[in-house]
Amino acid sequence: MKQLIVVGAGISGLSVAFWAERAGWNVTVLESAEVPGGTMRTVREDGWLVENGPNSALETTPVLWEMFRLLDIGKDHCYADDSSNKRYVLRDGALHPIPLSPGAFLSTSLWSPAGKLRLLKEPFIGRAEKEETIAEFVERRLGREMLDYGINPFVAGVYAGNPEQLSVRSAFPKLYALEEKYGGLIKGMIAGARERRKRAEVAKDRARMFSFVQGMQHFPEAIAGRLAGHIRFSVPVVKIDVAGATPPERSRFRVVGADGAVFDADAVVLSVPAYAAAGLVRPLSPDLASLLLGVYYPPVAEVFLGFRRSQCARPLDGFGYLIPAREKRRILGTIWSSAIFPARAPADHFALTTFVGGSRQPELMQLDDGSLRQLVLEEVHDIMGVTGAPVFSKICRWEKAIPQYNLGYQTVLDAIGRLEMQVPGLYLCSNYRGGIAVGDCVMNGKITAERIAGVSPRA
Ligand SMILES: Cc1cc2nc3c(=O)[nH]c(=O)nc-3n(C[C@H](O)[C@H](O)[C@H](O)COP(=O)(O)OP(=O)(O)OC[C@H]3O[C@@H](n4cnc5c(N)ncnc54)[C@H](O)[C@@H]3O)c2cc1C
């Protein structure tokens, strides 16, 4: 049986390993940390459930449920409360619900009458002539106000990113495709809905939000449990040697851990962040290594605060709120964690998860924990009317949080493709390629395993 080494036990690497093992490969996963999950990390303490990474994920691909069934964790799966469809955006200091129906759109004060009227021009705007940032794309098609109070906060919520730098083509390929394929967003949405109805598919923006009773890390833990005996923790990989056949033959690999341990393999998947992959591919492609090192991961802090129910008068009737840069606040937004998944706080308490930093304000990460907590308290006091001190708090800092698919990102993706052609049997699969959402990582993990399996593992 042929040997596959997967480097990195985040959700991308574990998904590759899971599917490759089912396809008949002898799989070994090498992970530098002591636990599986990478960014998906859950802490349970004193009745609180704290997510250090993703708070939830969207069911954007059927691969998720295929895995839940095979892992027998469907029973632990939970959907977000129905009220979570309601999301707020801060404007002029007040929280406005994002309108979900045409009537609500017409009556909302989130956008001015002029901003709404500007949308009527959209179908008549032509295609872009050059690669654009999200800001350029949205301002051109929908106007400045939709950028500032529609897309800007959304981009902060998804990427902790800056719409003036992210490439619309690479970071939001579906949005970009509406213009490319149908000539406009409104035309594209109408035609897309018709096509989806024919194929009986559900629109991605209607995908349901889920987690697990035990928290998000339960998913990678379950995959790791299934692969038990085939995962080595505390093994940072420092080198990959290729004993080189020339294409189209497959190369044989020697994967070297920091302690000098050597693992032979017929194929290797790098499922580590871009900056970690850079060091491993440098001997094979110095150009790709420089490009991977250049991928920007802004820092983000997740500040989890727990309060007694009596400390907030307003109803927590939704997902939480996002903050446009123009509002000049010191936080990116707050998730009402225990309103979405009630079991995340003890009875008669509520939990808030607030995001600080990102590409918008990376300098705020210099603050010590006490100042960071105080800053968030002041903001949630001002925005939501929360009173008094929290009864529980936890801060998680990600110095390098989420890869930014900035303008020109296709150059990085093309260079990855070239290396995979040049070194058959080497694959790169992580969230800097093909999407950052958990669902994207899982789907790309399966696709990578299928590419590997396509070369006959049992041969
Ligand atoms: C703060 C935050 C909030 C998020 N919120 C959401 C959300 O709400 N919904 C959503 O869908 N997505 C969210 N995401 C994104 C999503 O969580 C990630 O994109 C996804 O989990 C990345 O998985 P991965 O396996 O590609 O990478 P990672 O999780 O980064 O895993 C990489 C693994 O490689 C290991 N590693 C690194 N170097 C080496 C080495 N040399 N040798 C061996 N192992 C190594 C690391 O220890 C790690 O375990 C969020 C991300 C962050 C940071």
Span 380-389, pLDDT tens digits? 999 999 999 9
Domain shared by 143 and 121, yes or no? yes
How far apart (Å, rounded) are the C-alpha atoms in residues 139 and 125? 11
- Answer yes or no: are the C-beta atoms of 427 and 452 closer than 8 Å: yes
Look-up: residue for tokens 């800053």? 375
pLDDT score, position 458: 37
Of 80, 51, 18, the closest CA to residue 218 belongs to 51
How far apart (Å, rounded) are the C-alpha atoms in residues 441 and 400? 18
Q: Whose CA is nearest to atom 37 of ligand 1?
A: 272
| pLDDT, tens digit, 9 for 90 and up, residues 23-52 | 999 999 999 999 999 999 999 999 999 999
How far apart (Å, rounded) are the C-alpha atoms in residues 321 and 323? 7
* Residue where one domain finishes, among candidates 398, 415, 430: 398
pLDDT score, position 193: 76
* Residue where one domain finishes, among candidates 173, 205, 237: 205
Domain shared by 410 and 442, yes or no? yes
How far apart (Å, rounded) are the C-alpha atoms in residues 119 and 343? 41
Question: DSSP 3-state assignment of 235?
Answer: coil
Mutate to test the pocket of ligand 1, among 58, 208, 221, 272 (most ligand atoms within 8 A of CB): 272
Domain shared by 308 and 283, yes or no? no
Looking at residue 288, which CATH number applies to its domain? 3.50.50.60
Domain shared by 379 and 413, yes or no? no
| Pairing label, strands 26-30, 231-232 | parallel
Domain shared by 120 and 180, yes or no? yes
Domain shared by 357 and 434, yes or no? no
Domain shared by 351 and 431, yes or no? no
Looking at residue 168, which CATH number applies to its domain? 1.10.3110.10
Cα-to-chain-centroid distance, residue 458: 34
**What is the DSSP-derived secondary structure letter of residue 96?**
E
**Measured distance between the N- and C-terminal CA atoms of the chain, rounded to whole angstroms:** 7
Count structural domains, the chain. 3
Mutate to test the pocket of ligand 1, among 39, 43, 395, 400 (most ligand atoms within 8 A of CB): 39
pLDDT score, position 189: 86
pLDDT score, position 321: 98
pLDDT score, position 245: 56
Residue 175 CA to ligand 1 center (angstroms) comes to 24
Find the residues whose C-beta lies inside 6 A of ligand 1: 7-13, 30-33, 38-40, 53-57, 236-237, 271-273, 276, 300, 302, 398, 401-402, 430-431, 436-438, 441
Domain shared by 334 and 379, yes or no? yes
Classify residue 430: in a domain, yes or no.
yes
Per-position DSSP letters for 395-413, written without gaps between them: EEEESS-S---BTTTHHHH
Domain shared by 370 and 282, yes or no? no
CB atoms within 10 A of CB 126: 10
Domain that residue 374 falls in: 300-398
Residue 437 CA to ligand 1 center (angstroms) comes to 10
Residue 70 CA to ligand 1 center (angstroms) comes to 23
Sign of CA dihedral 379, 158, 55, 228: negative
Angle at 363 between CA 318 and CA 295, to 5 degrees: 85
Residue 383 CA to ligand 1 center (angstroms) comes to 30
Residue 39 CA to ligand 1 center (angstroms) comes to 4
How far apart (Å, rounded) are the C-alpha atoms in residues 38 and 53? 9
- Answer yes or no: are the C-beta atoms of 35 and 242 closer than 8 Å: no
Domain shared by 245 and 287, yes or no? yes
**What is the DSSP-derived secondary structure letter of residue 83?**
G
Residue 396 CA to ligand 1 center (angstroms) comes to 14
- Answer yes or no: are the C-beta atoms of 29 and 232 closer than 8 Å: yes
Question: Which atom from ligand 1 is nearest to the alpha carbon of 355?
Answer: 1
| Pairing label, strands 349-357, 333-335 | antiparallel
How far apart (Å, rounded) are the C-alpha atoms in residues 226 and 27? 12
Q: Whose CA is nearest to atom 12 of ligand 1?
A: 437
Please, what are the averages of pLDDT over each run of 10 residues along the chain (459 residues)? 95 98 96 98 97 96 97 97 94 96 94 95 92 96 96 94 96 92 89 72 76 98 96 97 71 93 96 98 97 98 98 96 97 98 96 97 97 98 97 98 97 98 96 97 97 63
Beta bridge partner(s), residue 427: 269
Classify residue 418: in a domain, yes or no.
yes
Residue 268 CA to ligand 1 center (angstroms) comes to 19
Domain shared by 314 and 394, yes or no? yes
Domain shared by 410 and 289, yes or no? yes
